[in-house]
Amino acid sequence: MDTPIQEREIEINLQDYLRIIQRRRWAIFTFFVVTVFTVTIATFLMVPIYRATSTVLIDEETPDALSVRDNFALGSSGYIGYREYYQTQLEIIKSRAIAKEVYYVLQLANIPEFAEAKDPIELFLKKLKVEPSRNTRLVYIHFEDKDKEIATSAVNKLASVYAARNLIAISKNENVNLIKNEYLKLQSKYSEMNKIYKDKHPQMIRLKQEIAQMEERMRKEQEDPFKATGLKSNNVRVIDEAEVPKNPVRPKKAQNILIAMIAGLLGGVGLAFLADYLDNTVKTADDVERLAKLPLLGYVPTIESKYSEIEKDKFVHLMPKSAVSEGYRAIRTSILFSSPEEQMIRDILVTSAGPKEGKSTTVSNLAITMASSGNTVLLVDADMRKPRVHTIFKIKNDVGLSSFLTGKAGLEEVVRKTDVPNLSIVTCGHIPPNPSELLGTKRMKEFIEQAKTKFDRIFFDSPPLTIVTDSVVLSGIIGNTVVVINSKKTSKSALHHSKQLLTNARANVLGVVLNNLVIERGDHYYSHHYYYSKDGSYYGKDTDKEKIGTVPSVSKA
């Protein structure tokens, strides 16, 4: 009996299977359509094959009742069990000798298919099928060909030739019996005359010659390849001659299409599960929680490629009513609820497992989202490998964080205003030769403490965790860390490795942001209260009849 926990596990597994099918439904549909289309076209292009069938009866063989013992021993065939005899006859029907006779009688050499064959008799035999009827003495002889007339003629002629050859054997057998009788009569006459005449008597010499001639005739009859001692005269008969078939036996169009539909569906589903098994990327909250044991802060839908990188980085500012903006607002709410109110989160490090996973885009939009709620926000570019914040906000990178850390500038000198209300930035500044050592100095802690006195929230952009040690160093200094993963790129092993690095650094990880997620209609990961437009530019209540999607749910850490 299943326990409630087991029942929940079964339900979760079923949901996982359904989610895989839902997520890869287009791949399944494509495989299904291609399979059915290919099989259908191939079926209709196939040359129709017709099958003509003739039925023959092979009756039981009887034993030979006559034997000769005296001075001449007959090679008796003996009684063959019917099963062995029946199998022998089936092989005779398929013999080259009979096939060759039919081939020449019907003049099949004039047919191009046979004329071009390397071994026309072998081709003939490939078209021939012999099917014994179970628990009867009937045999169905089939012949298949694209020409229904040829198929019919071939099978009927073959059946008649087989039956005629067996009748020839019976005729030969009757002749043997006559010779045997004459031989026995001569032997009896020789015995009677031997009582009167001596061996050298002319009549005895003549009688011996007649006996010798009879023995020779018997020997020749015994050597006939078609002898069949003791057979009944009607033991092989053609019961039904083949009629010209009306419909082809192949291809079976409806059957082929049905099988293609079943194979296409099962194959598509199988490939979907295989692709999902081979796909090592993180896609769901279950993946995040199972592999990294971290809470999911929220989802960010995919932004269409028609938008530039700069537009994506400031998407919340440019399109505040979009699905993407709503996703970032949900993440903002998750961050705010990640700790008690008396322990307000002030400084947040945003990093990623690997490169090009949307880290800079995420931190920029989160900073803008937080600023739009009335907080004074500072966005700091701590990625001293490939800085981007100055490019996003179109500000010179002549002075920045590296200037402060090296003592060349104070906080007021490196903070810059942006066109977004309540949002200021600190660019990277000149790229130093030793970023990780510089970020781990006491001066970095001083920067954070000074910034907290002037801003409500401070966001730090940083390099990927698995590439360099900068983010690991910063995670031990900055109070809170958010990890961005790309649903189409980040591998499960990279996520696991990132979690291990942060654990070793004793970082306080708020959770994970799942970026670049393709919104699927009916996906149970999302709240049912909202829907998105196709380009992610609009969201609204699900009371609208034109519902096409949903919004990420808010996850509490």
Asked if residue 21 has pLDDT above 80, the reply is yes
Report helix, strand or coil for 178: helix
Separation between Cα atoms, residue 514 and residue 9, nearest integer Å: 24
Q: How confident is the model at residue 458 (pLDDT cuts 50, 70, 90)?
A: very high
Q: What is the pLDDT of residue 126?
A: 95
Range in 28-32, 226-230, 237-241, 249-253 with the lowest mean pLDDT: 226-230
Q: What is the pLDDT of residue 266?
A: 94
Query: Phi and psi at residue 215, in whole multiples of 5°?
Result: -65, -40
Asked if residue 533 has pLDDT above 70, the reply is no
Nearest residue to 21 (alpha-carbon basis) of 260, 275, 288? 275
Torsion angle (degrees, nearest 10) of CA 493, 491, 500, 8: -80
Range in 53-57, 223-227, 291-295, 351-355 with the lowest mean pLDDT: 223-227
Q: How confident is the model at residue 524 (pLDDT cuts 50, 70, 90)?
A: very low
How many Cα neighbours within 13 Å face the side chain of 371?
Answer: 26
Q: What is the tens place of the pLDDT at every residue in 97-149?
A: 999 999 999 999 999 999 999 999 999 999 999 999 988 899 999 999 999 99
Q: What is the tens place of the pLDDT at every residue in 264-284?
A: 999 999 998 888 888 778 877
Q: Name residue 144's beta-bridge partners.
A: 51
In the chain, % of residues over pLDDT 70: 82
Separation between Cα atoms, residue 301 and residue 243, nearest integer Å: 68
Separation between Cα atoms, residue 291 and residue 494, nearest integer Å: 10
Q: What is the tens place of the pLDDT at every residue in 59-94?
A: 865 444 333 333 333 333 333 466 888 888 999 999
DSSP 196-221: TS-TTSHHHHHHHHHHHHHHHHHHHH
In the chain, % of residues over pLDDT 90: 49
Q: How confident is the model at residue 171 (pLDDT cuts 50, 70, 90)?
A: low
Asked if residue 197 has pLDDT above 90, the reply is no
Separation between Cα atoms, residue 22 and residue 19, nearest integer Å: 5
Report helix, strand or coil for 95: coil
Report helix, strand or coil for 57: strand
In three state form, how does the secondary structure of 239-269 look?
EECCCCCCCCCECCHHHHHHHHHHHHHHHHH
Range in 225-239, 344-358, 419-433 with the lowest mean pLDDT: 225-239
Q: What is the pLDDT of residue 61?
A: 55
Q: What is the pLDDT of residue 198?
A: 82
Q: How confident is the model at residue 341 (pLDDT cuts 50, 70, 90)?
A: low
Asked if residue 537 has pLDDT above 70, the reply is no
Q: What is the pLDDT of residue 269?
A: 93
More confident residue, 379 or 59: 379
Asked if residue 223 has pLDDT above 80, the reply is no
Mean pLDDT, residues 181-202 taken together: 81
Q: What is the tens place of the pLDDT at every residue in 389-403?
A: 999 999 999 999 999
Range in 13-17, 301-305, 489-493 with the lowest mean pLDDT: 13-17
Note the Cα 68 to chain centre separation in Å: 72
Q: What is the pLDDT of residue 528?
A: 35
Asked if residue 445 has pLDDT above 60, the reply is yes
In the chain, the amino acid numbered 50 is Y
Q: What is the pLDDT of residue 545?
A: 32
Q: What is the pLDDT of residue 70?
A: 38
Those residues with Cβ within 8 angstroms of residue 475's Cβ, 6 or more apart along the chain or in another chain: 349, 351, 481, 502, 505, 507
Asked if residue 255 has pLDDT above 90, the reply is yes
Q: How confident is the model at residue 315 (pLDDT cuts 50, 70, 90)?
A: very high
295 close to 289: Cβ distance less than 8 angstroms? yes
Mean pLDDT, residues 39-58 taken together: 93
Separation between Cα atoms, residue 408 and residue 397, nearest integer Å: 14
In the chain, the amino acid numbered 201 is H
- Is the pTM higher than 0.95? The answer reads no
166 close to 231: Cβ distance less than 8 angstroms? yes
**R_g (Cα) of the chain, nearest Å:** 47
Nearest residue to 26 (alpha-carbon basis) of 292, 305, 271? 271
* Two structure tokens written together for 1: 């009996």
Asked if residue 169 has pLDDT above 70, the reply is no
Q: How confident is the model at residue 218 (pLDDT cuts 50, 70, 90)?
A: confident
- Helix, strand and coil content of the chain, in percent to the nearest 5, comes to 50, 15, 35
Asked if residue 497 has pLDDT above 60, the reply is yes
Strands 236-240 and 50-58, bridge-based pairing: antiparallel
Q: How confident is the model at residue 521 (pLDDT cuts 50, 70, 90)?
A: low
Asked if residue 342 has pLDDT above 60, the reply is no
Largest interatomic CA distance in the chain: 157
Mean pLDDT: which of 50-64, 82-96, 193-207, 241-255 is highest? 241-255
Q: Any idea what DSSP says for residue 427?
A: -
Q: What is the pLDDT of residue 164?
A: 84
Separation between Cα atoms, residue 556 and residue 73, nearest integer Å: 106
Cis bond upstream, residue 251 (ω within 30) = yes
Range in 134-138, 158-162, 291-295 with the lowest mean pLDDT: 291-295
Asked if residue 192 has pLDDT above 50, the reply is yes
Mean pLDDT taken over the chain: 82
With residue 505 as reference, give the H or E element that holds it: none
